[in-house]
Structure 1
Amino acid sequence: MNQLIIATRKSALALWQSEYIAQILKNEHNIEVILEGFKTKGDVLLDSPLAKIGGKGLFTKELEESMLRNEAHLAVHSLKDVPSFFPKGLVLAAVSKREKSNDAMLSQKYQDFSSLPKGAKIGTTSLRRKMQLLLLRPDLEIISLRGNVNSRIEKLKNGDFDAIILAIAGIKRLGLDKEVNFIYEFSKDELIPAASQGALGIESIEDVKILDLLKCLNDENTLIETTIEREFIATLEGGCQVPIGINAELKEDTICIRAILGLPDASQILKDKKIIKKNDFKGFGKILAREFINKGAKELLKKAEGMI
Structure 2
Amino acid sequence: MEKLVIATRRSQLALWQSEYVKSLLQEHYPDMQIELQEFVTKGDKILDVPLAKIGGKGLFTKELEVAMLEGTAHLAVHSLKDVPTQFEDGLQLAAVTKRFDPRDALLSNKYASIDDLPQGAIVGTTSLRRRMAIMMLRPDIVLKDLRGNINTRIAKLNAGEYDAIILAATGIQKLKIEHEVKYFAPISTDMMIPSMGQATLGIETTNDPKVLEIVKVLNDENAHIESTIERSFVDTLQGGCQVPIGVKATIIDENSIRVQAIVGLPDGSESISEDITVSIKDYEKAGRQLAQNFIDQGARELLDRAEKLAFK
TM-score class, shorter-chain normalisation, is over 0.9
Which residue is 1:191 aligned to? 192
Ranges in structure 1 where 5+ consecutive residues have no aligned partner: none
Q: Distance in 1 between matches of 2:88 and 2:279?
A: 33
| Corresponding letter in the other structure for 1:24 | L
1:17-32 alignment to 2 at 5 Å?
Answer: 17-30=17-30, 31-32=32-33
Secondary structure, aligned partner of 2:181: coil
Which residue is 1:276 aligned to? 278
Q: Quick check: 1:92 aligned with 2:96? A: no
Q: CA deviation at 1:276?
A: 1.3
Q: After TM superposition, which residue ranges in structure 1, 4 or more long, deviate above 4 angstroms?
A: none
Q: Quick check: 1:155 aligned with 2:156? A: yes
Secondary structure, aligned partner of 1:242: coil
Secondary structure, aligned partner of 2:203: strand
Ranges in structure 2 where 5+ consecutive residues have no aligned partner: none
2:267 to 251, 261, 265: 265
1:237-248 alignment to 2 at 5 Å?
Answer: 237-248=238-249
Q: Distance in 2 between matches of 1:181 and 1:116?
A: 14
Which residue is 2:126 aligned to? 125
Secondary structure, aligned partner of 2:100: coil
Q: CA deviation at 1:251?
A: 2.0
1:49-64 alignment to 2 at 5 Å?
Answer: 49-64=50-65
Aligned length: 308
Q: Distance in 2 between matches of 1:238 and 1:62?
A: 22
Secondary structure, aligned partner of 1:204: strand
Which residue is 2:37 aligned to? 36
CA RMSD of aligned residues (A): 0.7
Q: Distance in 2 between matches of 1:150 and 1:156?
A: 10
Which range moves more in the overlay, 244-253 or 50-59?
A: 244-253
Q: Distance in 2 between matches of 1:243 and 1:234?
A: 14
Cα displacement string for residues 72-117 of structure 1 (whole angstroms, at most 9, x for unaligned residues)? 0000000000001111111111000000101100001111111101
Q: Distance in 2 between matches of 1:7 and 1:116?
A: 40
1:306 to 286, 292, 308: 308
1:256 to 248, 255, 258: 258
Secondary structure, aligned partner of 2:115: helix
Identity %: 53
Q: CA deviation at 1:307?
A: 0.5
| Corresponding letter in the other structure for 1:134 | M
Cα displacement string for residues 198-255 of structure 1 (whole angstroms, at most 9, x for unaligned residues)? 0000001111011000000000000000000000000000000000000000121221
Cα displacement string for residues 29-62 of structure 1 (whole angstroms, at most 9, x for unaligned residues)? 1111100111100000111000000000000001
| Corresponding letter in the other structure for 1:284 | A
Q: Distance in 2 between matches of 1:18 and 1:5?
A: 11
| Corresponding letter in the other structure for 1:289 | A
Which residue is 1:102 aligned to? 103
Q: Distance in 2 between matches of 1:69 and 1:125?
A: 33
Secondary structure, aligned partner of 1:115: coil
1:292 to 288, 291, 294: 294
Q: Distance in 1 between matches of 2:278 and 2:236?
A: 19
Which residue is 2:46 aligned to? 45
